[in-house]
Chain A
Amino acid sequence: MTFFRVIGFSVLVLLVYTGFANILPQVQSDPPSEEVVETSGMDMPGMIAYGEKLFSGKGTCTLCHNDLGRAPDLLAMDLAADFSERQEDAGYSGAATGKEGAAWVEAYLHESLVDPSAYVVPGFGKKGTNDTQSPMPVVNAPPIEMDDVQMNALIAFLQDRAGFEPTVALPSAADTPVAPPAGSVEAPEPLAANGVEAIDKFFCSGCHDLEGSEADLGPALNGISARMTRGEVMSAILEPNAVIADGYEADIMPADFSAQMHSSELILIVDYLMGLPQ
Chain B
Amino acid sequence: MVFIVALAVWAAAFYVMDRYIMSAQGLPVGADMMPL
Contacts and interface: CB of A to CB of B under 8 A. Distances in A.
The A contact surface, by secondary structure, is loop
A28 to B, nearest CB: 39
Contacts, number: 5
B35 interface: yes
Contact of A123 (B25, B26, B35): B35
What is the size category of the interface that chain A forms with chain B?
Answer: under 10
Contacts of B35: 123
A56 interface: no
Interface in B5-36: 25-26, 35
A127 B25 CA distance: 8
Interface string A111-146: 000000000000100011010000000000000000
A123 B35 CA distance: 9
B11 to A, nearest CB: 28
Contacts of A127: 25
A41 to B, nearest CB: 46
A239 B35 CA distance: 64
A130 B35 CA distance: 15
B34 to A, nearest CB: 11
Contacts of B25: 127-128
B20 to A, nearest CB: 16
Contacts of A130: 26
Contacts of A128: 25-26
Nearest to A123: B35
Nearest to A127: B25
Contacts of A123: 35
Contacts of B26: 128, 130
Nearest to B27: A127
Interface of A: 123, 127-128, 130
Interface of B: 25-26, 35
